Amino acid sequence: MRRDHKPYSMRLLVNFVRRLYTNWRLKPQFAAVGSGLEIIGPHRLEIWGDDIYLGDNVHMQTSKGQMSRLCTWPNETGGRGRIDIGSHTLLTPGLQIVSANHVSIGDNVMIASRVYISDADWHEIYDRLASPGPHAPVHIGENVWLGEGVKVCKGVTIGANSVIGAGSVVTKDIPANVIAAGNPAKMVRELNKDRPIKKRESMFEDVKEYNKTMSYLHYLNHKENGFIGWLRQMIKPSRKG
């Protein structure tokens, strides 16, 4: 569709059902969940395993054809993986985080579509039946931005504020306050230390005002839509309307 033709009342209904599904089906699967969790397309989020923790104001997006997955797996020590996702993070469609050790994601992190983060090899090189294979913790620092299709491998630390370019494969530590890209990812340049970075947390300084603004934006996007026009576009899409 060229745009969303749903009437405003349908938009409100969709939002209600989405929240209901999230609270009923998904929240109980996390070890802990902060306030303000929002999941768009919650039926396309797969959660498997224990010890998955979310901070406040975590926003997840999924889309058709791009399931997102958070998974913790047992390891050979008798323990299992753990995933910690900090507050005010943005996680977009196709994300996969799989842990047999520990994946830690700081506050205000932004993760673009189709990112894969893993702290294990999942098979040993010479004994292909051995699982999860070698593993080491992954730490993604505060306010990091991972571009589309980035892969983060076991044992990696990415420093605060750093940006990883689209399609990069991170096999070694990346320092704070840099832009890195490539396969394997390497520093391209340092960030300008004299320029302040506005973080996602600033959106939630006044949660009531944030919710009011989002509701108003939904209203603006749908106020002109009617049921007949919506049904017409569902049955026979056109450039008009």
Q: Would you say residue 155 has pLDDT above 80?
A: yes
What would the mean pLDDT of 167-190 be, rounded to a whole number?
98
For residue 190, being part of any structural domain is answered with yes
pLDDT of residue 227: 80
Q: In terms of residue numbers, what domain contains 38?
A: 32-195
Which residues are marked as active site?
A: 123
Based on the fold, state whether residues 114 and 214 are members of the same structural domain: no
Question: Do 59 and 95 form a contact (C-beta atoms < 8 A)?
Answer: no
In a domain, 136, yes or no: yes
Q: Which pLDDT score, from 0 to 100, does residue 236 have?
A: 80
pLDDT at 235: 84
If pLDDT is split at 50, 70 and 90, which confidence band does 2 have? Answer: low
- Encode pLDDT of 199-230 as tens digits: 999 999 998 998 899 888 888 888 888 888 87
pLDDT value for 20: 96
Q: Looking at the structure, tell me whether residues 100 and 163 fall in a common domain.
A: yes
Instruction: Tell me: do 112 and 163 sit in the same domain.
Output: yes
53 and 82 in a common domain:
yes
**Within this chain, do residues 211 and 101 fall inside the same structural domain, yes or no?**
no
Instruction: Please indicate, yes or no, whether residues 7 and 99 belong to a single structural domain of this protein.
Output: no
Report the predicted TM-score, pTM, of the whole model to 2 decimal places.
Answer: 0.91
Residue 232, H or E segment: helix 227-235
pLDDT in tens, 22-71: 999 999 999 999 999 999 999 999 999 999 999 999 999 999 989 999 99
Helix (H, G, I), strand (E, B) or coil at 221: helix
pLDDT digits (tens, 9 = 90+) for 84-131: 999 999 999 999 999 999 999 999 999 999 999 999 999 999 998 888
In a domain, 200, yes or no: no
Rounded to whole angstroms, the Cα distance separating 47 from 44 reads: 10
Do both 80 and 176 map to the same domain? yes
Number of domains in the chain: 2
Domain for residue 176, yes or no? Answer: yes
